[in-house]
Amino acid sequence: MLKNAILVICDGLADRPLRALNGLTPLESARTPNLNRLAKRGITGIVDTIGVGIRPGSDTSHLALLGYDPEIYYTGRGVFEAAALGMELKRGDVALRANLATVDENMIIEDRRAGRIESSEPFVRELNGITIDGVHFMVASGLGHRAAIVMRGKGLSSNLSNNDPHILGVRPHFVRALDKSKEAEFTAGALNKFLERAHAALSKNPLNKERVKVGKPPANYLLCRGAAILKGFPDFEEMFGLKAACVSAVGLYKGVALAIGMDLVSVPGATGRPDTDIEAKFRAAIEALQEYDFVFVHIKAADNLAEDGNFREKRHFIERIDRAARMLLNLKETLVVVTADHTTCSELKMHTGDPVPIMIVGEGVRADKVKRFGERACALGGIGRIKGLDVMKEILNLMGRAEIYGA
């Protein structure tokens, strides 16, 4: 009987056949003895994380793979980003992603990232906790110039335009309501007032005076985008009966995990970049299996490398995943699931809608004859072609935790 499960999602792992790799994908062309050993022991298949031919975002595909239908639960990236910054969101909160930016005395945008300042924290601190028209504003700092804004109050809407025009030399837009509802008008109005007040406060911030003195652009404006309202996420443990933890270094995925009630396991050396310590992440995940029924491990870098067109480094990174995957070979009481959230084509440098490989290894699975973990090898596996939302169902079933439908 399986005690627990580990779900390893390698972001953007899958690819298309590349001419430069003799018609193989980076995964097919990589030396992956450990992943292949897992594939040999397990059952394999391919997954359309959203649907056949649909190009998944990383947010929607993770929701689906974790058992949350994005058609129901996805409202926008902002809520996950904010959650990832440690903000405790409540149902009805509206979250936005924000950049600290530079405007001149005529409100013309000079720099969308305020010279890529090192940390937004000392700037946004004083903006946190302002109340306007009964709406409470919370601001948290992210990496560098990044921040998140959360609005809490009655009757808010996320149907708002961005104030970020995405170009320089113009004024920021006013945030507008994108529908004619009272809620959207009200929310846009409160947010515009807040942005004005933030500009006034930031302009007076002594740190900005220092920046100007040394010739750096002042961080005196908040450009925001991606307003999203937090719908209630049913708790992962309540939905699936599995106490769950997440090992990830990247905000978005930590945000998804937090939003669905998973605990975060932080791992020194996990960076979300190609230099990340994959062994350390697997070690932490395996340790967490002592305490948790389900551990989701997210490994980011293959996606970024493919988006940079760097298919050789992608292959190299996959070989690093493989070396770490040795640690997954001896988990006797654990269902081991390895898959990807979407294909990232190194030639097109973007997410594509091609299915991703999956393998499921553990006692009781109907091991098939597939001997390699690869896009095309797994397409011939015993799982066939399933959807992202099916993955948690398969996991629950193989763990012996699925409820009977009927009698």
Burial (Cβ within 10 Å: 0-12, 13-18, ≥19) of residue 323: middle
Q: Is 307 in the site for a second copy (CB under 8 A)?
A: no
Nearer to a second copy, 67 or 172 (CB): 67
Selected from 1, 91, 154, 332, the binder of a second copy by CB under 8 A is 1
Nearer to a second copy, 241 or 382 (CB): 382
Cα–Cα distances in Å, from 340 out to 56, 185, 194, 316?
Answer: 11, 40, 40, 17
Selected from 57, 142, 153, 217, the binder of a second copy by CB under 8 A is 57
Cα–Cα distances in Å, from 154 out to 135, 170, 182, 191, 219?
Answer: 8, 33, 12, 14, 31
CB 161, min distance to a second copy, A: 17
The residue behind tokens 């629950």 is 396
C-alpha to C-alpha distance for 365 and 359, rounded to whole angstroms: 10
Q: Is 36 in the site for a second copy (CB under 8 A)?
A: no
Nearer to a second copy, 132 or 402 (CB): 402
Nearer to a second copy, 102 or 352 (CB): 352
Q: Is 17 in the site for a second copy (CB under 8 A)?
A: yes
The residue behind tokens 């104030």 is 163
Q: Is 11 in the site for a second copy (CB under 8 A)?
A: no
Q: Is 394 in the site for a second copy (CB under 8 A)?
A: yes
Q: Is 334 in the site for a second copy (CB under 8 A)?
A: no
Backbone angles phi, psi at 207, to 5 degrees: -60, -35
Q: Is 351 in the site for a second copy (CB under 8 A)?
A: yes
Q: Pairing state of beta strands 43-48 and 384-387?
A: parallel
C-alpha to C-alpha distance for 83 and 79, rounded to whole angstroms: 6
Selected from 148, 367, 372, 373, the binder of a second copy by CB under 8 A is 367
CB of 220 closer than 8 Å to CB of 103: yes
CB 65, min distance to a second copy, A: 12
List interacting residues with a second copy (CB under 8 A): 1, 16-17, 23, 25, 46, 50-61, 70, 74, 76-77, 226, 345, 347-348, 350-354, 364-368, 375-376, 379-380, 382-387, 390, 392-398, 400, 402-407
